[in-house]
Structure 1
């Protein structure tokens, strides 16, 4: 049983499902997705599907050899399933594919809050952090690489496109401890002010015109509800809706990424493309959302952190003039982060699951 978010088939779950249907057709796999999803037909063309949250989904959840998802709550009813699992009523073999490399201390993924049979990782230091500090038993964390990385081809885009992709903030979306201290209506928030400041800067407009640059602004899935607030930006910039644009395709066709703290920048690094970090609220982010883990934005080899929009535009201008080439330090660090770049991640996961199933 494989799934992601109820309405999506674009992440590690989808890519692993596609691998199973195309390369391991002898295995009976189902993908759970809402029939109203814009991705539903795409998945149905590949293999067997069930309606997310339906009776069929529940049956598959109870009977499957593995319940596989890119989401912690990838189950027919996340709350009910979590209650049953944590109280020993039912213990499925949950395989957590993740939807991004874990770089921070994410307490909601600690062993005492999860029931993972396998926790799939893609980066060497990430794997070590989860294995040593997240409280899992030996053998739960497995370094195989992500299924979606199998489709990432290193630096082969001809489009002069950059992707601006900020991540979410829990004080706009979730009830979390301490979030009330910084709670502000989105329309008056520093988040909106700072990103609008960058997008509407005359310097960015100059780069767009003089370098025939295409700029795509893609809000995190949790922030897409606020997309209307960005409609007043430079008309030359594409404000991308998640329903109309596939992140994987945007990553493949972009030469550079600007983000704040989104772990999706590792997808760009995997393809050996430059990244720039715009971090105007780092103190609040560390206090209210995630504490720093193994990755340090201020000493890494992949991109520089800036707090001012002017600095970000200056760095972007430099990258354009430099032909988006990455440094030797970047390339040297690459080998210390990724154990695999052979486009065989899905195969490794399948072989892991198949061997475990045979040994039961």
Structure 2
């Protein structure tokens, strides 16, 4: 699956840059003054999630010991706006040169999108770098979808961090990852969140639905007829929902998935006449900041629900297409038993749960006590544990030992 639109002659330009960078490192070996670390996430398009949390930690604690680079999409402006130091544009010659000289790489989604575009065809040219998959969320809802280009990238990775023994078991049994590559260090982004910090009153609600592979390639007419759009429209246009948020002066923040760009206008029209509904696109906001300052969540199958449970805040799961979702992708969770919050199969059931939260003051997560079954650490030392594990590995040695 292509997550980015390819540019003209991209395969050729990638091959030229990668080949020249590889030859330059081979023919003109230069030992860097400090070991190099490349960090990237969210396809280079945003400074978000576990990758950015870990990058911030490294920049704060290890700049004297390592040369740390953030990898970014050159078509974006956030690096300049945030003043991120030592940032390198993805796809540049410098990008590939640093890739072959790096001691460590850390990525949230994929090596070929976060660290070095198109590198899947050349990944085994790099035999010495320790490569870490930090993950962008706890694996639970969607079963992993492994495309052909993902196989060499997953095989080449040296470390897959895990939030808990629960997640480690998924990556070992379901993904087939060797146990020696799995490190239970916790989720880096949870270091930014207050643990068990419920609100006294709900004033802001995030609505965030995840994507479906079946929505790719639909015409506008087909999308408007889809179960996904129909269910979302029914909820946002529900008269009782709009009465509740108006009476309780609640702001409903609808965050649209980045793949929703072609259809954004159909959603934003819902809120044009309602002052309590705001629509936010992926490009406009920082998800991590929105989570921190939002009182509760309505979602279908987004892994950000863990952030709200971690803070002991309400979550309503709007599982309107559970049967088709399970057939299409499958889930590691039992969607009838394991959801840590209120489960709602219909818009009416969402409203019923919302009444309990807003009118009866049930502002804590009803299944918060079960969080410990899925998350091992709440001490805000997840980045520290991951760094200690990574730096205990010597570049060049782990790959050789794994191949014997």
TM-score normalized by the length of structure 2: 0.79
> In the alignment, which residue of structure 2 is the partner of 1:204?
241
Secondary structure of the equivalent of 1:168?
coil
In the alignment, does 2:125 pair up with 1:89?
Answer: yes
Q: 1:167 aligns with which of 210, 217, 223?
A: 210
Asked if 2 retains the 8 angstrom alpha-carbon contact of 1:54 and 1:76, the reply is: no
Asked if 2 retains the 8 angstrom alpha-carbon contact of 1:101 and 1:123, the reply is: no
> In the alignment, which residue of structure 2 is the partner of 1:343?
380
Structure 2: distance between partners of 1:48 and 1:166:
34
Q: 1:126 aligns with which of 150, 158, 167?
A: 167
Cα distance 1:280–1:331, how it changes in 2: closer, same or farther (>3 A)?
closer
Q: 1:141 aligns with which of 179, 182, 186?
A: 182
Secondary structure of the equivalent of 2:393?
helix
Cα distance 1:98–1:120, how it changes in 2: closer, same or farther (>3 A)?
same
> In the alignment, which residue of structure 2 is the partner of 1:325?
363
Asked if 2 retains the 8 angstrom alpha-carbon contact of 1:274 and 1:302, the reply is: no
Cα distance 1:205–1:281, how it changes in 2: closer, same or farther (>3 A)?
same
Cα distance 1:260–1:297, how it changes in 2: closer, same or farther (>3 A)?
same
Shift of 1:304: 3.0
Structure 2: distance between partners of 1:358 and 1:156:
43
Deviation per CA, 1:286-335, whole angstroms, max 9, x where unpaired?
A: 222x2121x222112612322210110111111123434336x6233122
Cα distance 1:47–1:112, how it changes in 2: closer, same or farther (>3 A)?
closer
Number of matched residues? 347
Secondary structure of the equivalent of 2:103?
coil
> In the alignment, which residue of structure 2 is the partner of 1:177?
none
Q: Unpaired runs of 5+ in structure 1?
A: 175-179
Residue correspondence of structure 1 range 262-277 to structure 2 within 5 A: 262-277=302-317
Deviation per CA, 1:108-149, whole angstroms, max 9, x where unpaired?
A: 288776232111121431221112231111221211112111
Residue correspondence of structure 1 range 1-16 to structure 2 within 5 A: 1-4=38-41, 5-16=43-54
Secondary structure of the equivalent of 1:251?
helix
Secondary structure of the equivalent of 1:269?
helix
TM-score normalized by the length of structure 1: 0.89
> In the alignment, which residue of structure 2 is the partner of 1:250?
290
Structure 1: distance between partners of 2:356 and 2:71:
45
Residue correspondence of structure 1 range 161-310 to structure 2 within 5 A: 161-173=204-216, 185-234=222-271, 235-236=274-275, 237-288=277-328, 290-293=329-332, 295-300=333-338, 302-310=340-348
Shift of 1:353: 1.0
In the alignment, does 2:63 pair up with 1:20?
Answer: no
Cα distance 1:336–1:23, how it changes in 2: closer, same or farther (>3 A)?
same
Shift of 1:84: 1.9
Secondary structure of the equivalent of 1:71?
coil
Shift of 1:259: 0.5
Q: Which moved more, 1:208-217 or 1:116-125?
A: 116-125
Structure 2: distance between partners of 1:244 and 1:298:
34
Q: Which has the larger radius of gyration?
A: 2
Asked if 1 retains the 8 angstrom alpha-carbon contact of 2:104 and 2:395, the reply is: no
Secondary structure of the equivalent of 1:357?
coil
- For the aligned residue pairs, the C-alpha RMSD in angstroms reads 2.5
